[in-house]
Amino acid sequence: MPNLSNLRKQAKLVLRWHRDRYYPVAAQIRSMLPRFRHLTDPEVLAQSFKLSDAQELVARQHGFESWEALKVGLPDMPDQTVPTPSVATLIAAEPQLFVADIKASLDFFTRKLGFAVVFEYGDPPFYAQVRRDGARLNLRCVRSPVTDPALRDREELLSAAITVATAGEIKELFLELQSAGVAFFQTLERKPWGARSFIVKDPDGNLLLFAGPAE
């Protein structure tokens, strides 16, 4: 069981991440603190955020409504330390796509694929992130292709695989993107291993797999 001293350190770390505009912490804040749930990541990071907010976040992560409730409900063990986990837990993956023009790529992902811009970095921008629901993609500007286009198409070298939960959703998503005028590298089809999927090619030739269960 974690002790109060370590939980205080966790709260201070969350506060520092917010002050440093560390984007992954915005998702934690939005998911745990109701007053932030309607905000985007940049909006969360632009809001006033105090140590008391960070403490409430940590308390809620451990099943308490407030920091005061946590202090009452959690045994105070100042002389004990939390053992370091022997195995790390992976919480997310963010594929990186190499693109020639950040603005053109952002336009494609927002207008065609229904993503939203999370952030842009650089002047002019050379790095950006887009998000749709739980899927996040990082865009990195490069001056020349990093993969042979013919080889990529021939071998179907995917840049990202994005999944949905049901057969109805994968069909609905395909029809949505079709209506948006998206060019498909591979249209919706059923695979022998029990999935239905389609592949979209972005303006830079990156192949994006969208998949869901067949039934």
The rounded Cα 92 to chain-centroid distance in angstroms is: 7
* Domains recognised in the chain with CATH numbers: 4-73 (no CATH), 96-213 (3.10.180.10)
Q: What is the pTM of this model?
A: 0.62
Nearest CA to 210 among 181, 177, 194, 180?
A: 177
Burial of 165 (0-12, 13-18, 19+ CB in 10 A): exposed
For residue range 84-129, list pLDDT tens digits in order.
Answer: 555 666 667 789 999 999 999 999 999 999 999 988 888 888 999 9
17-44 pLDDT, tens digit each? 898 887 778 888 988 899 998 888 888 9
pLDDT one-digit tens code per residue, 149-176 = 899 999 999 999 999 888 899 999 999 9
